[in-house]
Amino acid sequence: SQQGEEDPQALSIQEGENATMNCSYKTSINNLQWYRQNSGRGLVHLILIRSNEREKHSGRLRVTLDTSKKSSSLLITASRAADTASYFCATDAEGQNFVFGPGTRLSVLP
Amino acid sequence: NAGVMQNPRHLVRRRGQEARLRCSPMKGHSHVYWYRQLPEEGLKFMVYLQKENIIDESGMPKERFSAEFPKEGPSILRIQQVVRGDSAAYFCASSPEVSVFYGYTFGSGTRLTVV
């Protein structure tokens, strides 16, 4: 797998359900970030989690980081149709730049 | 300054023409990053610049592509003699310091179509 690879590639859920996306990476990191991208738009920064943190919350978002497994998860609780977007994780393993994974395409059905 | 400003939003060029993409970072941000996104794919790093300096261009194709971030004015990504494979969305991001400690702020992108 490449550095920062999301799983699953695509996810469809009903409104109100929780959505969980995972990110795996290969080499040690200092930070990991999650971004959202609506179709045809730029990326919006959601959360940055540092390597010494295990969990972070922001509203309906919960991010976990397990450095021993080199993985992170993004949980969106009580999903809404407006959460429909692509979600990317980005890692800083290559120094001063963040490397993005191919993304998870989330569809929240009304 | 509402954020990172990119222009134009859409750009159509014929094969062989030049494309110039502009990016004005957020006020107070001195670090600029360019990424390219092909349809249904993630972002691929191209180049990282600070004012008047290219810090890392390891993601830039060796030919036809260049970038600058002058002392005054926006950062420019220039693609000479465009080919159809250059069609993509090009995103600029900025950060106040080295980005490993901060998140990026992205612009809305320039969608380049080569016909």
pLDDT in tens, A33-81: 999 999 888 899 999 999 999 999 999 999 999 999 999 999 999 999 9
Q: Do A88 and B48 touch (CB under 8 A)?
A: no
State which amino acid sits at residue A88: F
pLDDT in tens, B30-68: 899 999 998 878 899 999 999 889 999 999 999 999 999
User: What is residue B112's DSSP assignment?
Assistant: E
Q: Percent of chain A scored above 70 by pLDDT? A: 94
User: A25 in contact with B at a CB cutoff of 8 Å?
Assistant: no
- With left for phi above 0 and alpha for psi between -120 and 50, is residue A30 left, alpha or beta? alpha
Q: Which of B41, B55, B99 to mutate to test the interface with A (most CBs of A within 10 A)?
A: B99
Q: Do A48 and B102 touch (CB under 8 A)?
A: yes
Nearest CA in chain B to A101: B42
